[in-house]
Amino acid sequence: MKALILSANNFEDSELLVPLYRLQEEGYGVEVAAGEQGCISGKHGYEVRVDKTFAEVDPADYAVLILSGGKAPASIRDEATVQAIVRAFFDADKPVGAICHGPQILVSAGLLNGRRATCYRTVAEELRAAGAEYQDREVVVDGRLVTARQPGDLPAFMRELVRLLPQ
């Protein structure tokens, strides 16, 4: 089984690295996709190797999608390829985890109308405007969508996401 993380420079380090390592612990191969090959850098200096560009991603190859936070989601949310990847996961009813600013990508893809979700507090009004029922809780599960607010919520976020993984 494989997992996909979509990101860019200025990601929130813990929100990318914790899911990456936790999914590896579950036996998943984890690939990071970004706009260009090479490495992306987190807000706190961690570098992560990019396995594929967005254009090289085939969503059918993956069982779960992670959208980490930081400033990365704002920089990729309007890319048509990124939106198509996210929509493909929703259309296939695969688990999607979005934390902190990660749900901004879901907003841009038009996927939150009528859904329950949470996010970093500064993004809450954007979720509401997109038709989501915003809940200020450490983790919100709505079907196959798992959202969380911030790095301190990572244990709950990963607990709920792991429950949804195909075995």
Closest-CA residue to 5 (of 158, 166, 139, 17): 17
Cα Dmax for the chain: 38
Q: How far, rounded to the nearest angstrom, does the alpha carbon of residue 73 sit from its chain's CA centroid? A: 9
DSSP one-letter code for 116 = E
- Chain segment 100-131, per-residue pLDDT in tens: 999 999 999 999 999 999 999 999 999 999 99
CA atoms of 103 and 79, how far apart (whole Å): 14
* Known catalytic membership, residue 101: yes
Q: What is the pLDDT of residue 167?
A: 72
Specify the 3-state DSSP secondary structure of 151: helix
Per-residue pLDDT reduced to its tens digit, 129-145:
999 999 999 999 999 99
User: Sign of the C-alpha dihedral, residues 65, 119, 44, 56?
Assistant: positive
Q: What is the pLDDT of residues 37-94, one digit of tens each?
A: 999 999 999 999 999 999 999 999 999 999 999 999 999 999 999 999 999 999 999 9
Closest CA to 129 of 145, 116, 112: 112
Band of pLDDT at residue 166, cut at 50, 70 and 90: confident
**Residue 84, pLDDT score:** 98
Q: Which of 101, 100, 80, 88 is nearest to 144 (CA)?
A: 88
Which amino acid is it at 75? S
- CA 57 centroid distance within chain: 15
User: Which of these is catalytic: 77, 101, 115, 149?
Assistant: 101
Query: Rounded to an integer, what distance in angstroms lies between the CA atom of residue 19 and that of residue 17?
Result: 6
Q: Residue 164: what pLDDT?
A: 97
pLDDT of res. 57: 98
How confident is the model at residue 6, as a pLDDT? 98
pLDDT tier at 161, thresholds 50, 70, 90: very high
Q: Are 50 and 4 in contact (CB under 8 A)?
A: no
